[in-house]
């Protein structure tokens, strides 16, 4: 199974072309061609153009995302010909020897040939968050992640048979997944589908009766005229461009973000991040640059035993060292002659690592490196003094670890749980610095101004996290120690609402904290880069991985910041807001058209009047009032903040607006019949003029606030209407005629009344669905 990040060309073609509405359009198009009415079949060419635009736009997006996905594709580490090689995941074959290290996502199912403290997180497969130890002979499943330790495994399953293939393909799929917008549009399309057949029956009967009855129409051939009118009413009810505009807006949004080095792994993330009202941030790699620098050695209050520098050198060069321990390598050179008898890799759940040497050597006993409050148990003078010093150092924003020594050994084996040795004695305290991202304060300030809540969640000491938070402008009043978090979901949710900074958070707690915020009704985004963030990122509404993230973390994220720039997020929010606001605006245009088409079809069918438009005339009016302007409006900047209730807001304006247009068209037709003008070319021209003028005013009110580009588009549409009704070649083709003064006066008067009604409707609608304005100083 391919792990491509985008839909195939066939999937794109099927989604844009093989739809129910396109089938209706194709049937109507063929019917008119068979009747010799090719001029009235223009909508068919418009439908083909719509489909082609949709296919091309999505294919362009597909190619852009595929290129980014290749740059971001996961790698596998294998042992071939005695050398360790990094290869693409899809190049892993049966019997390859996988080299597994902490942070790796296992690319294929394998049997362990060697294991040193290997612990695997299988939560993405089983839902169980506790790491599982894997000894020699144990099976490891692709899609799981190495938490601690290292080992070698022989590949037993690859490709579609493995878990990883299915997981990666699903997690990285470019898909127009369910969202509020797409769910709302799908509901509308289902309603239209259900209503279409009975309305078609009413319209066809009305057209036949308007030609003198079924028998007379069939006998005289006037059924052809009735068929043209029926096709016009049916085509008017189908919102052909609505799904197209949604697809194009999403696809163009993805391409725009790709140019900013933001990989969208699911298109709904563009919309989703605009709906976020709570942003959870991992400190390391998000607020800070992710690089830890060794700061200094501090006295622990006791004389350090001999060999402490060599111990630090060993921790710094251990192949399984975490980023913090690796910083020690430059300051403390490794002794190549050291041969430990056992070691325990660092674990985010344990928060310490250990190495043991044989008795009688200068390094005899066990050396421990980890969090002082975890490694040192209170109760002894040395431990209590070291813990107090460590707390003071941590409160200044420095990451603080203790190197401790014990004469005993850890209870760690290849299959057993690791446990601290008895009474470790502090040797030295070590401090490390993290560089705060220069853009972090500005980015967090933006989110606060936008009304987005912020939570800093980290596995580090809460005082250290609080100090970093203060550096980026968050006045937190101190961090909350996650070891004191309640386990009850409701109590946890209450604590989450009260506090901003949390330290000593375990991976399982991060997931529970995200769930607690969601229970309070928040739409939660989570950023992270470590494998310990994968659970929370998967649980969040929007998971955002940094460029330095582990493969497992990227696989479950919706967004990947490929250049690691935290300041990209405001641009992503702006893109999401543009997509949501513009699709809502465009949907009102299309739904207003559907509304007036349904009302006109039912009214004229029930009154047994001929439908007041030819299909070609509706093609022209649709292009002026919806088709052309909608394409531009869907892609323009729009900083409006998101509010739930997209479908209700759209219909609450579109349905009354469509009713106003339908009643105005009914009015001009009633006048024509009463004045003895019949239903000829003049009446159709008057109907088109009334419909277009009021529909253009709908476009005007939905385009507010007006700017130069929107005014230019609307002005061009009014000019197109004048040209359509006055240019002789267009008049002849669309069967329009110059209106007499009386007919023109009545048409314009009815149009002005309709425009006034639309204006009043818009103002009432705006009062009842006002979106809070963005702060003027920091608009997106």
- What is the CATH number for 504? 3.40.50.1000
Mapped onto helix, strand or coil, the DSSP state of residue 430 is strand
| Nearest to 405, CA basis, from 346, 360, 357 | 357
Q: Burial of 704 by CB count in 10 Å (0-12 exposed, 13-18 middle, 19+ buried)?
A: exposed
CA 325 to chain centre: 35
Tell me the residue range of the domain where 592 lies: 179-256+578-770
Q: Give the pLDDT confidence of 133-172 residue by residue, as tens digits.
A: 888 999 998 877 787 788 999 999 887 676 545 544 443 4
| 343 falls within a domain | no
**What is the predicted pLDDT for the residue at 700?**
94
Q: Are residues 738 and 646 in the same domain?
A: yes
What pLDDT, on a 0 to 100 scale, did the predictor assign at position 774?
Answer: 40
Question: How confident is the model over 735-761, as pLDDT tens digits?
Answer: 888 888 888 999 999 999 999 999 999
Range from 326-330, 542-546, 604-608, 649-653 carrying the lowest mean pLDDT: 604-608
Helix, strand, coil % in the chain, rounded to nearest 5? 55, 15, 30
Cβ-based neighbour number of residue 26 at 10 Å: 14
Least confident stretch, 16-25, 426-435, 554-563: 16-25
Q: Across residues 306-329, what is the average pLDDT?
A: 88
Output Rg (C-alpha) for the chain, integer angstroms.
34
The model's pTM is 0.60
Verify that 500 and 557 share a domain, yes or no.
yes
The CATH number of residue 740's host domain is: 1.20.1110.10
Record the tokens describing residue 414, joined without a space.
Answer: 């290849």
What pLDDT was estimated at residue 775? 38
Active site residues: 282
Domain boundary among 537, 572, 607: 572
Same domain for 452 and 521: yes
Q: 192-233 pLDDT, tens per residue?
A: 777 777 877 777 776 676 666 677 767 776 666 656 656 666
The answer to whether 587 and 243 have CB atoms below 8 angstroms apart is: no
Comparing 61-65, 558-562, 596-600, 609-613, the range with the smallest average pLDDT is 61-65
Q: What is the mean pLDDT of residues 306-325?
A: 88
Mean pLDDT of 592-607: 85
**Mean pLDDT in residue range 343-357:** 84
Predicted local distance difference test score (pLDDT) of residue 449: 85
Query: Where is average pLDDT lowest: 61-70, 601-610, 717-726?
Result: 61-70
Domain ends where: 171, 206, 226? Answer: 171
Report pLDDT digits (tens) over 27-40.
Answer: 666 766 666 665 65
Residue 218 lies in a domain: yes
Same domain, 451 and 561: yes
Over residues 660-671, mean pLDDT: 94
Residue 105 lies in a domain: yes
In a domain, 57, yes or no: no
The pLDDT of residue 514: 93
Residue 618 domain-assigned? Answer: yes
pLDDT bin (cut points 50, 70, 90) of residue 776 is very low
Check whether residue 522 and residue 612 sit in a common domain: no
Sign of dihedral through CA atoms 535, 536, 541, 547? Answer: negative
CA 285, CA 101: separation in Å to the nearest integer?
20
In a domain, 243, yes or no: yes
CA end-to-end distance (rounded Å), the chain? 40
Query: Does residue 568 carry a pLDDT above 60?
Result: yes
Give me the pLDDT at residue 297, please. Answer: 94
Q: What pLDDT score does 43 carry? A: 58
Of 572, 592, 618, the one marking the end of a domain is: 572
pLDDT at 82: 86
Q: Is the pLDDT of residue 296 over 80?
A: yes
pLDDT tier for residue 773 given thresholds of 50, 70 and 90? very low
Residue 412 has pLDDT above 60, yes or no: no
* Preceding amide of 705 cis, omega within 30: yes
To the nearest whole percent, how much of the chain has pLDDT over 70? 77
Weakest-pLDDT range from 439-453, 548-562, 757-771:
548-562
CA distance readout (Å), 770 to 383, 391, 767, 773: 60, 50, 6, 9
pLDDT more than 90, % of the chain: 22
């Amino acid at each position: 199974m391919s792990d491509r990040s985008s839909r195939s060309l066939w999937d794109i073609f099927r989604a844009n072309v093989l739809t129910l509405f396109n089938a209706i359009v194709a049937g109507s198009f063929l019917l008119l061609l068979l009747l010799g009415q090719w001029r009235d079949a223009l909508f068919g060419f418009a439908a083909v153009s719509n489909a082609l635009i949709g296919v091309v736009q999505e294919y362009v997006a597909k190619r852009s995302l595929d290129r980014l996905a290749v740059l971001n594709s996961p790698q596998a580490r294998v042992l071939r010909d005695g050398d360790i090689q990094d290869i693409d995941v899809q190049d892993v074959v049966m019997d390859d020897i996988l080299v597994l290290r902490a942070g790796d996502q296992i690319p294929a199912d394998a049997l362990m040939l060697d294991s040193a403290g290997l612990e695997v997180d299988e939560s993405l497969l089983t839902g169980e968050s506790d790491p599982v130890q894997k000894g020699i002979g144990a099976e490891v499943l692709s899609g799981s992640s190495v938490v601690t330790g290292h080992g070698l495994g022989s590949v037993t399953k690859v490709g579609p048979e493995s878990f990883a293939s299915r997981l990666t393909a699903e997690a990285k799929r470019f898909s127009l997944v369910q969202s509020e917008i797409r769910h709302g549009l799908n509901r509308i399309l289902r309603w239209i589908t259900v209503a279409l057949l009975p309305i078609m029956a009413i319209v066809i009967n009305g057209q036949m009766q308007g030609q003198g009855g079924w028998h007379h129409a069939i006998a005289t051939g006037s059924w052809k005229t009735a068929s043209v009118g029926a096709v016009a009413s049916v085509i008017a009810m189908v919102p052909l461009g609505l799904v197209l505009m949604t697809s194009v807006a999403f696809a163009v949004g993805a391409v725009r973000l790709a140019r900013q080095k933001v990989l969208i792994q699911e298109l709904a993330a563009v919309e989703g991040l605009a709906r976020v009202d709570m942003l959870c941030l991992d400190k390391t790699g998000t607020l800070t640059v992710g690089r830890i620098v060794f700061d200094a050695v501090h006295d622990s209050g006791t004389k350090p035993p001999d060999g402490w520098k060599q111990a630090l050198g060993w921790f710094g060069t251990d192949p399984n060292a975490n980023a913090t321990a690796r910083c020690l390598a430059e300051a403390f050179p490794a002794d190549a002659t050291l041969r430990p008898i056992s070691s325990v890799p660092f674990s985010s759940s344990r928060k310490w690592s250990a190495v043991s040497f044989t008795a009688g050597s200068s390094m005899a006993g066990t050396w421990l490196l980890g969090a002082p409050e975890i490694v040192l148990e209170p109760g002894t003078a040395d431990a209590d003094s070291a813990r107090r010093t460590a707390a003071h150092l941590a409160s200044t924003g420095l990451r603080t670890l203790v190197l401790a020594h014990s004469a005993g050994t850890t209870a760690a084996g290849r299959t057993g749980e690791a446990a601290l040795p008895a009474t470790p004695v502090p040797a030295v305290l070590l401090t490390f610095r993290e560089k705060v991202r220069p853009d972090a304060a500005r980015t967090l300030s933006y989110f606060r101004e936008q009304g987005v809540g912020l939570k800093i969640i980290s596995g580090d000491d809460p005082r250290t996290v609080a100090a970093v938070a203060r550096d980026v402008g968050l006045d937190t009043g101190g961090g909350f120690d996650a070891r004191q978090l309640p386990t009850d979901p409701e109590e946890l949710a209450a604590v989450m609402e009260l506090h901003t900074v949390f330290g000593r958070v375990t991976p399982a707690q991060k997931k529970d904290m995200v769930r607690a915020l969601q229970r309070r009704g928040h739409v939660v985004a989570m950023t992270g880069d470590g494998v310990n963030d994968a659970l929370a990122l998967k649980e969040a509404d929007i998971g955002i991985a940094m460029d330095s993230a582990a493969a497992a973390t990227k696989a479950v994220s919706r967004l990947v910041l490929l250049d690691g720039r935290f300041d990209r997020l405001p641009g992503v929010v702006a893109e999401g807001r543009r997509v949501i606001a513009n699709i809502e605006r465009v949907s009102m245009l299309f739904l207003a058209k559907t509304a007036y088409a349904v009302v006109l079809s039912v009214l004229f069918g029930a009154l047994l009047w001929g439908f007041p438009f030819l299909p070609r005339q509706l093609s022209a009016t649709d292009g002026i009032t919806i088709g052309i302007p909608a394409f531009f409006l869907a892609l323009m900047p729009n900083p409006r903040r998101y509010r739930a209730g997209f479908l209700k807001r759209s219909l609450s304006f579109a349905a009354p607006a469509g009713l106003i247009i339908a009643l105005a068209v009914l009015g001009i037709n009633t006048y024509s019949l009463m004045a003895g003008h019949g239903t000829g070319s003049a009446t159709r021209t008057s109907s088109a003029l009334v419909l277009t003028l009021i529909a253009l005013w709908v476009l005007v009110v939905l385009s507010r606030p007006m700017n130069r580009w929107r005014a230019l588009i609307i002005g061009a549409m009014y000019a197109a209407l004048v040209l359509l009704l006055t240019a002789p070649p267009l008049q002849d083709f669309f069967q329009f005629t110059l209106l007499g003064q009386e007919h023109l006066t009545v048409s314009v008067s009815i149009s002005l009344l309709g425009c006034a009604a639309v204006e009043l409707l818009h103002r009432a609608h705006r009062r009842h669905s006002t979106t809070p304005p963005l702060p003027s100083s920091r608009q997106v």
